[in-house]
A and B are shown apart, each in its own frame.
Chain A
């Protein structure tokens, strides 16, 4: 990293917050003026939710190096938990906030219980175990109405209040990015990266790898829980089908396209990818709609073959970097 010239600039995080708030005001104004119609507002919200979920997966896979194919399961846990809560307590801003917190907490708790045993597994074994967990979770959700009738089982859960609005998504998206930035550049973040780079060496220098792997996994799944809670109250309807294996691959694709271990990459890829998919839905005639699903895996293959590091390849926007200090790096 270059250190020259960086000293006189203000704290990069400050600029980021100013730019973000400016962007928020601009987007909100566009919505008021009716330039952004409800359809695109929905897409914007979806992009924010994808961003939060993908940041979580990036922490698990991109930074900690633990390949998870079950991310959508935790997203589903957050969605159902929060929806149950707001339906039981009545709709409102307070219950939504409570629902998001509860969704995140439950997703993190499940991640902790599942993570303790399965994070001992390495690379593709872990991948297949998390995939298995995802499928089990979907089967449980499909049969959930036997235990809690309100969850609706395979026919889906309806009657959820439509509480998620753009300010909610924006606030949580911004918080997610800032928390992630501070986390990955802290000593904890360094420890997570060391586990990714070489588990044996990390252990040799005194890093409790099991603890950090679990920590990364739990926080990442907590992010998925937040995203799920926002999703539940955006569409007001949940179906186990939305949390299956393919959904996990969706999120993985965003993380891989953006760049493993890059917050900027996830940020750009989550927004660009959501808008691209929706844009193609509008732009393409109905007869070639099916081709979207053909192009999508091709993008995945081409990126892996020609640019495995993703768009950003572990670099960051200036405002997401820690302040350069003299004498270090």
Chain B
């Protein structure tokens, strides 16, 4: 039982990191119907920005998160403007292929020696790791920080989307872009803001990933990115609470697979869930189903 609870905590730690990535996927998909494959790489850039902020510039930890968030937001908006905006009315698959191209470009460009380089780097811990006992179960201050920051950002996002004018505009654009435009909403700006916010969350996720699993390298975004996407589909793509729920489930299932079955099979289980969800309930756990219209 103690082992079970311990693994549950480890799973939630992974799940919260996935959640921060999955939110960006789901928001972007909700608004432009695009699987932004480059999102996992934005997460990677966030981890590196956090690394430089802590190791090279000696900034305090909260400021490192802010640096990563701002940098990633700028990167996300830039990618959207340059690569996706011209394809907004093209077939969806063209945009998808472009997204894969952007993803490969970021990975291979940052892999060059004069950028980040292919050698993995150790992520600095800005504080000593402390462990608290809780009825036999151990929880570290790193895990508490991951939980805290992630929950804080998610609450902030919910308030932003639910309570502000911009948030309302985002919801309007995701329901019906053309009608939203007729209501006087600047759709291009809203899309850019969505990319910016989603990328900022991924950037924060990158820094949290860095302190939780302290080794970073340019290809580190591929798998977490894909799994966060699976989590977004699991929860119901386009639905913000769905992405959070799906991510926590994914993180826990993956950790349990490693703990109880085999760590080599955990990717297969993650993507097995994806295929199962798509077949049984393609709209996800929290989604509403609708059929094709002519």
Residues of A in contact with B (beta carbons under 8 Å apart): 67, 117-118, 120-121, 123-125, 127-129, 131-133, 135-136, 139-140, 142-143, 200, 246, 249, 252, 256, 290-291, 293-294, 296-298, 300-301, 304-305, 308
Q: Say yes or no: B268 contacts A139, CB within 8 Å.
A: yes
The answer to whether A305 and B98 touch (CB under 8 A), given A124-B93, A132-B274, A298-B105, is yes
Check if A135 sits within 8 Å of B271, measured CB to CB.
Answer: yes
State whether A127 and B96 are in contact (beta carbons under 8 Å apart), knowing that A135-B267, A294-B112, A305-B87 are contacts in the complex. yes
Residues of B within 8 A of A256 (CB): 97
Decide: B108 and A290 in contact? CB cutoff 8 A.
yes
Mark contacts of B103-122 with chain A using CB atoms, 8 A cut-off: 1 yes-contact digit, 0 otherwise: 11100110111000000000
**Partner of B265 from A120, A139, A308 at Cβ < 8 Å:** A139
A-B contact pairs, 30 of them (CB 8 A): A67-B93, A120-B279, A123-B93, A124-B35, A124-B93, A127-B35, A128-B35, A132-B230, A132-B272, A132-B274, A132-B275, A135-B271, A142-B264, A200-B292, A249-B100, A290-B113, A294-B105, A294-B109, A296-B104, A297-B101, A297-B104, A297-B108, A300-B98, A300-B101, A301-B102, A304-B94, A304-B95, A304-B101, A305-B83, A305-B98
Q: Does B92 contact A (CB under 8 A)?
A: yes
B144 within 8 Å of A (CB atoms):
no
- For the complex of A and B, list the 9 residue pairs with the smallest distance between their C-beta atoms, beginning with the closest: A297-B104, A132-B271, A300-B101, A139-B268, A301-B101, A293-B108, A297-B105, A297-B101, A304-B98
Query: Is the pair A121, B268 in contact by a Cβ cutoff of 8 Å?
Result: no
B162 to chain A, nearest CB (A): 27
B282 lies within 8 A of A304 (CB) = no
Q: Are A290 and B226 in contact (CB under 8 A)?
A: no
Given A128-B233, A131-B226: A143 and B264 interface contact (C-beta under 8 Å)? yes
Q: Kindly state the separation between the CA atoms of A308 and B112 in the bound complex, as whole angstroms.
A: 28
A280 to chain B, nearest CB (A): 14
> Is residue B183 contacting chain A, with contact meaning CB distance below 8 A?
no
> Once the chains bind, are B112 and A290 in contact (CB under 8 Å)?
yes
Name the one of A117, A135, A290, A300 contacting B97, with C-beta atoms under 8 angstroms: A300
Once A200-B292, A290-B112 are accepted as A-B contacts, the answer to whether A300 and B100 lie under 8 Å apart by CB is yes
When C-beta atoms are compared, the residue in chain A nearest to B106 turns out to be: A297
Residue of A nearest to B222 (CB): A245
Bound-complex Cα distance A237 to B92 (A): 38
Contact with A along B74-90 (1 / 0, CB 8 A): 00000000010011001
Q: Please determine whether B92 and A123 come into contact, CB atoms closer than 8 angstroms.
A: yes
B142-158 with Cβ < 8 A to chain A = none
In the bound assembly, the distance between CA atoms of A129 and B229 in angstroms comes to 12
Contact with A along B262-294 (1 / 0, CB 8 A): 001101100110110011001000000000101
How far, in whole Å, are A87 and B150 apart by their CA atoms in the complex?
A: 53
- Please determine whether B86 and A305 come into contact, CB atoms closer than 8 angstroms: yes
Among candidates B94, B103, B264, B282, residue contacting A308 with C-beta atoms closer than 8 Å: B94
CA of A136 to CA of B265, assembled, Å: 9
CA distance A117 to B33 in the complex (A): 23
Residues of B within 8 A of A120 (CB): 279
Chain A residues lying within 8 Å of B267, measured Cβ to Cβ, are 135-136, 139
A residues within 8 A CB of B95? 304
The secondary structure that dominates the A interface is helix
Inter-chain contacts of B86 with A (CB < 8 A): 305
A74 to chain B, nearest CB (A): 16
The docked-state distance in angstroms from the alpha carbon of A143 to that of B111 is 29
A281 to chain B, nearest CB (A): 15
Quick one: which of B94, B226, B268, B282 contacts A125, CB cutoff 8 A? B282
A118 and B274 in contact, given A67-B96, A127-B96 (Cβ under 8 angstroms): no
> Which B residue's beta carbon lies closest to that of A252?
B97
Smallest CB separation, A252 vs chain B (Å): 7
> Complex formed: what's the CA distance from A181 to B87 in Å?
31
In Å, the complex CA distance between A10 and B190 comes to 60
A60-B98 Cα distance, complex, nearest whole Å? 19
Q: How far is the CB of A212 from chain B (nearest CB, A)?
A: 18
**Which single residue of chain A is at the shortest CB-CB distance from B271?**
A132
Which chain B positions have C-beta within 8 A of A135?
A: 226, 267-268, 271
A297 touches B102 (CB 8 A): yes
Closest CB in chain B relative to A279 CB, distance in Å: 19
Residue of B nearest to A133 (CB): B275
Which B residues lie within 8 Å of A298 (CB)?
101, 105
> Beta-carbon contacts of B238-260 to A below 8 Å, as 1s and 0s?
00000000000000000000000
In the complex formed, the residue of B with least CB distance to A200 is B294
For B103, the chain A residues whose CB sits under 8 A away are 297
Which residue of chain B lies nearest to A198 when distances are taken between CB atoms in the complex? B294
- State the CA gap A256–B100 with chains docked (Å): 13
Q: How far is the CA of A136 from the CA of B208 in the complex (A)?
A: 28
Tell me the bound Cα distance from A117 to B294 in angstroms.
Answer: 23
- Give the chain A neighbours of B279 by CB distance below 8 A: 117-118, 120-121
Cα–Cα, bound, A128→B237 (Å): 13
Check if B100 sits within 8 Å of A140, measured CB to CB.
no
- Complex contact B265–A124 (CB within 8 A): no
Name the residue on A nearest B278 (C-beta). A129
Q: Cβ of B268 and Cβ of A140 under 8 Å apart?
A: yes
Supposing A135-B226, A290-B111 touch, asked if A249 and B104 sit within 8 A by C-beta, the answer is: yes
- Sample of 11 more A-B contacts, CB < 8 Å, known A67-B93, A128-B278: A117-B279, A128-B274, A129-B274, A132-B275, A133-B275, A135-B267, A139-B265, A249-B100, A252-B97, A290-B113, A293-B111
